[in-house]
């Protein structure tokens, strides 16, 4: 992975935050002013996104938007809107060291190698995807022992959206 990697952001519907994605008429905009919003999605720490996923039923609990900065322009950024109760494919990965091969927003097929792990015995093992779909979240939990990560894959075609960036004139 190159050094120009930028971290995705997660916004959850009706969650309080200092930064929002606002649906106004038919467009989405990143803002801190929600006075004219029809719907709001509040920014949350990426690592807390699993709190809005039912890990037993493998479904979303609330609608959320994942902002993918890898397709960013000067005025817009791409995002993926994931509705409430969207079925998900969840795959947990455990290892001493985990190397992720794909960033969020990438389509994977079943049995594609998605990560490498290094075990306590210093063996390198490949991790193959159990899912077919688009990786929406790669939740890394480096504080866990052994290290743990959760791949969240949307198997149905998600809804890609364009999100306008805030400027001084549209705040």
Eight-state DSSP code of residue 49: G
Q: pLDDT of 144-158, one tens digit each?
A: 888 899 999 998 888
By three-state DSSP, how is residue 71 classified?
helix
* Summary mean pLDDT of the chain: 87
- Cα 146 to Cα 32, 68, 114, distances in angstroms: 38, 28, 18
Q: What is the DSSP string of 98-153?
A: EEE---TT-EE-TT-EEEEEE-TT--EEEEE-S--EEEEEEEEETTSSSEEEEEEE
pTM assigned to the model: 0.85
Eight-state DSSP code of residue 155: -
Q: What are the chain's domains?
A: 9-85+157-170 (no CATH), 88-154 (2.40.50.100)
């Amino acid at each position: 992975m190159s050094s120009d990697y930028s971290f995705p952001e997660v916004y959850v519907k009706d969650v309080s935050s200092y930064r929002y994605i606002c649906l106004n008429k038919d467009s989405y905009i990143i803002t801190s002013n929600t006075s004219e919003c029809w719907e709001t999605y509040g920014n949350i720490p990426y690592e807390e996104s699993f709190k809005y996923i039912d890990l037993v039923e493998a479904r979303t609990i609330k609608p959320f938007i994942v902002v993918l900065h890898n397709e960013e322009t000067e005025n817009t950024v791409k995002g993926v809107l994931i509705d409430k109760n969207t079925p998900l494919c969840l795959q947990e990965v455990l290892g001493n060291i985990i190397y992720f091969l794909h960033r969020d927003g990438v389509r994977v097929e079943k049995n594609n190698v998605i990560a490498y792990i290094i075990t306590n015995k210093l063996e390198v093992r490949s991790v193959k995807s159990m899912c077919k779909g688009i990786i929406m979240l790669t939740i890394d939990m480096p504080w866990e022992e052994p290290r743990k990560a959760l791949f969240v894959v949307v198997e149905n075609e998600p809804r890609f959206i364009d999100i306008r960036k805030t400027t001084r004139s549209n705040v």
